[in-house]
Amino acid sequence: MKSVEIQGNERTNFGSKYAQLERKAGNVPCVIYGGEAPIHFSAPTLAFKGLVYTAEAKTAKITVGGSTVEAVIQDLQFHPVTDHLMHIDFIQLVEGKPVTMDIPVVLHGQARGVLNGGKLKSVLRKLSVRAVPGQLPDSIELDITNLRIGKSIRVSDVTPEGFEILNATTAVIVTIKKARGAVDDSDDEEEGAEEGAEATAEAAAE
C-alpha cells in the first residue's frame, strides 16, 4: 500500500480556541490514537492532499518531534458550509494489531447488462475492511463482465483474503439497472436452456 509522508508540528495547547487558531494559520489539527498515548499535532492543509483527496487507500507516515509513526485515517471532519478539512483522527499501525480502514472498490470489465443497454450503478465505492497492517488490501477488485440487467454484486459475493469486510453481507456494491430500450438477455438464455433440455430428452427417448 502506498504511503504519504507528513511533517507535523506537535500541539501542546488543546481546545476549540487553539484549534481555530491552527485553522486560521492554514493548518489542520490532528490526533493519532492507538499508541502508548495520543499524539496531537497539526500540519498544513496541502500536506493531506494526496492522502484525503484521492480514491486510493493510503497509509500516512507522520513525523512529529523527531519520531515517525505509520497510521491510517479513522475519521475526517469537514466544514458543513465551505467543505474545508477541519480535523483528522488517525489510528497508529501496530504490527499484529487489527485496524479498520475504508478500501476502494475497483471494477473491471464491460458489464454484459451495460452492453445490452442497462445502466451501471455503483452503490458502495468503498468497503470497510478490518485486518492487521500487512494484510490491508490496496483495493477490492471486482469483475463485472457477466453482470446482467437486474443483477447485483453484494458483499457476500466477495471472497476476502486475509481481511474481514465489516459491511452487511446483503449490502449491494454494484448493480445494473434496466433503462429504456435495454434488452434483457436473461430470458433468451432461459429459453435456450429449456430448448436444449427438450432436445436432450427427445434424443434419449429415441
pLDDT, tens digit (0-9, with 9 covering 90-100), for 119-128: 999 999 999 9
In contact, 177 and 122? CB cutoff 8 Å: no
30-45 tens-digit pLDDT: 999 998 899 999 999 9
26: left (phi over 0), alpha (psi -120 to 50) or beta: left
- Which pLDDT belongs to residue 197? 45
The band of 55, judged by pLDDT with boundaries at 50, 70 and 90, is confident
Confidence class of residue 66 from pLDDT cuts 50, 70 and 90? confident
Q: What is the pLDDT of residues 140-180, one digit of tens each?
A: 999 999 999 999 999 999 999 999 999 999 999 999 998 87
Output the average pLDDT for the chain.
88
- Judged against a pLDDT cut of 50, whether residue 107 lies above it is answered with yes
Using a 10 angstrom Cβ sphere, with 0-12 exposed, 13-18 middle and 19 or more buried, the burial of residue 136 is buried
**pTM of the predicted model, to two decimals?**
0.78
DSSP character string of 154-186: EGGG---SSSEE-S-TT-EEEEEE--TT---TH
Domains annotated for the chain, with CATH where assigned, are: 3-94 (2.40.240.10), 101-187 (2.170.120.20)
Mean of the pLDDT values across residues 46-71? 93
